[in-house]
Amino acid sequence: MDDPNLTAAKKRIENTNQPASTKLDLSNLQLTSIPEEIGKLTNLTTLYLYNNQLRSLPEEIFILTNLTTLHLHNNQLMSVPSEIFILTNLTTLYLSNNQLKSLPSEIGFLTNLTKLTLSENQLRSLPEEIGSLTNLTYLNLSYNQLKSLPEEIFILTNLTRLFLSDNQLTSVPSEIGFLTNLRTLELSDNQLRSLPEEIGNLTNLTYINLSKNQLRSLPEEIVSLTNLTTLILSDNQLRSLPEEIGFLINLTFLNLYNNKELIYPPYSMIKSHNVVKEVLEFCKTQRDIYTRRGRRKNMWNNIPLMYIAQVDPHCSETFGKLPTELIVLIEYFCLCAPYVEPVEVERIDHVNKKEKLL
């Protein structure tokens, strides 16, 4: 009995075998093989083969030299054939969620690639030839088993989005500073203990995720990232933040959750915004709430914004006056409440120092 999914694939190929046809969709058919007739579709520029059960690719794929976009994600591919070098017109290649343990050196011939996804595989290393893909703007290597990055990856100076989360990286090379066009950098769920000072060269960054690492401090140079809108530092071992972090005036989302030894925000975060008077007044009205709820010991406990807005009409009014870009700072300001006026609780020395500054 013929496999109905294979029959469906053959029908789609037959219907696509027209001079004007440039796209073929064979996705979601649970295919374990591809009909050889696909080799006749030499005008194809886009081929969708995702969400199947392919363990290998047929030779006929490499006849399709006009391909610019190839979707192979969500299969069971064990390897990428060396013949991949024939498809030199590829600009987009999706290989995520397969079972790849390595890449062939021939991938370096795909010099027109701008987007390459390799997440959710079993990669332990990358070939040095990846440095030849100098047109890449998007590279996703998340959810692999990488322990280090080849120096060649830092030749890819056109990268704007780099995803390296959920690997086994213990350090970030100083060469990261060469990737000055980066806008998004994802490094969560690794084993990072520190960051190089060259991170400060990435002045185009708007998003960086460093959560779930082992960071104890941040380099002072991070304050050079003045275009940052999102900074995620949760689940680390941070004890302090650079005082100048308050000068990241474009920051709209900052996550410091579960840094158990991080007790108070830098003074600059409080004094660097023009609404400080209103916010401090807001803090005064709320200080007793936080002390009563036992928030003094770890000031970074999350206090729901809706709760803050509801407890007192004055709070709601003040909250409404804040610019959208400062919403993320409200928890900072609220947690500074004990610094504003004396409260009848035992104080920590460094809290008193901050209090005097105010």
> 35-91, pLDDT tens digit by residue?
999 999 999 999 999 999 999 999 999 999 999 999 999 999 999 999 999 999 999
Q: What does the pLDDT read at residue 187?
A: 98
Domain interval for residue 302? 276-357
- The percentage of residues in the chain with a pLDDT greater than 70, rounded to a whole number, is 73
Query: What are the start-end ranges of the H helices in the chain?
Result: 4-16, 267-271, 276-292, 305-311, 313-321, 330-335, 337-340, 349-357
The model's confidence at residue 267, banded by pLDDT at 50, 70 and 90, is low
Say which CATH number the domain at 42 has: 3.80.10.10
* One domain for residues 291 and 200: no
Q: Where is the domain boundary, 271, 298, 323?
A: 271
- The per-residue pLDDT for range 292-350, each reduced to its tens digit, is 444 443 333 333 332 233 333 344 444 444 444 344 444 444 443 333 332 232 322 33
Q: What Rg value do the Cα atoms of the chain yield, rounded?
A: 26
| Sole residue written with tokens 């158990």 | 260
Q: What does the pLDDT read at residue 304?
A: 32
> Which three-class secondary structure state does DSSP give residue 141?
coil
* One domain for residues 94 and 77: yes
pLDDT (average), residues 176-192? 97
* One domain for residues 58 and 146: yes
CB–CB of 69/91 below 8 Å?
yes
For Cα atoms 298, 299, 304, give the angle at the middle one, nearest 5 degrees: 115
Query: Percent helix, strand, coil in the chain (nearest 5)?
Result: 35, 10, 55
CA–CA distance, 243 with 267 (Å, rounded to integer) = 7
Query: What's the mean pLDDT when you consider all of the chain?
Result: 79
Give the chain's domain count.
2
CB–CB of 255/211 below 8 Å?
yes
CA 195 to chain centre: 16
* One domain for residues 247 and 98: yes
Q: Which of 100, 106, 184 is nearest to 143 (CA)?
A: 100
Q: Where is the domain boundary, 213, 239, 271?
A: 271
Residue 165 scores a pLDDT above 50: yes
* One domain for residues 103 and 223: yes
* One domain for residues 225 and 280: no
Q: What does the pLDDT read at residue 266?
A: 60
* One domain for residues 247 and 222: yes
Residue 352 scores a pLDDT above 90: no
The residue type at 246:
G
In 120-247, beta strands by DSSP E? 138-140, 161-163, 184-186, 207-209, 230-232
* One domain for residues 8 and 102: yes
- The per-residue pLDDT for range 7-42, each reduced to its tens digit, is 888 888 888 877 778 999 999 999 999 999 999 999
CA–CA distance, 59 with 145 (Å, rounded to integer) = 29
* One domain for residues 162 and 52: yes
Q: Where is the domain boundary, 237, 271, 305?
A: 271
* One domain for residues 13 and 47: yes
Between 267 and 288, name the one with better pLDDT: 267
CA–CA distance, 61 with 230 (Å, rounded to integer) = 41
